[in-house]
Amino acid sequence: MKNFAGKIAVVTGGGTGMGRELARQLVAEGCNVAMCDVSEAAMAETRRLCEAEKLPQGLRVTTHVADVSIEDHLTRFRDELGEQQMTDRIHLLFNNAGIGGGGSLFTNTREQWERTFNICWGGVYLGVRTFLPMLVKADEAHIVNTASVNGFWASIGMNQAHTAYSSAKFAVKGFTEALINDLRLHAPHVKCSVVMPGHVGTSIVSNSRKVQSADGSERLNSDEVALTRKRMVAAGVPDADKMADEDIQAAFAERARSFLEDAPTTAAEAARTILDGVKAERWRILVGEDAKRLDERVRATPEQAYDRAFYESFTQEVGWRLG
């Protein structure tokens, strides 16, 4: 697929981050976009940004509220898309939606763990299941599943567990690799790619907290304050056990700000890398220099990938601040 003009794309998690930037760049290339998100307000802002430069005549940008972990939501999204975009086929499916959280089997609840896993993995699986018939009807099509460097390196540091997100992203990577031959055998005009970003500047830290808590607040509840304090103590933060609750709140807010604003790769840069990878029909798309370096290191010394020396040398090389 050498260009996106006149095509129809589905983008999950289109309200913020890479999803928003994918939508904006697709529209800029003349592609119709149908996006979903759990936040109607966030999607409205994405749509406003898409339309800011005036859409070409006939181009459509539609928004649909949906939780990608719930099949009925995706089915409704598909049906709304067909009606509003006036189509029975799509050309591009970006399974981009994801959240963090549920890192530990010990300190997080089962509900938190499965919420993360069901969105990050289930959303991809259900997205493909739901939209595959529409992709097959197109003359050419491409499935783009967002994994992470945590799809080949299941960690964010020695002092913090990261099991739910990593498990989900490993599943996304394996699923997409298995799709290569499944599609080749049964729908050769449909291609697929797995996207593995490093640290990309998005609102995933604050958004994940909102989705996990279901209260939409920027502030931690009392249980989250206690868990954040425990993590800070484990990470060796001086006097973390004595910090006031408001100081814990401030530390979380700073972490969310830093993840968004201090990342080595912006969401716009990530979206451009992804779209270029689709045009080049690359099935494996690494996003960011940090992702490329980590991939090389894990492949070179897989048995050492979870040793302290590996962590320390890698953080020095790329400037990550791991837990």
Active-site amino acid positions:
165
If one counts every other C-beta atom within 10 angstroms of the C-beta of residue 88, the result is: 10
The amino acid at 191: K
If one counts every other C-beta atom within 10 angstroms of the C-beta of residue 323, the result is: 16
Distances (CA, A) of 271 to 122, 203, 282, 285, 288: 22, 15, 14, 11, 11
Tell me phi and psi for residue 61, to 5 degrees: -125, 115
Q: Compute CA 66 distance to the chain's CA centroid, rounded to the nearest angstrom.
A: 15
On the CB side of 77, CA atoms within 13 Å amount to 32
The strand pairing partners of 266, in sequence order, are 201
Q: Cβ distance 172 to 124 under 8 Å?
A: yes
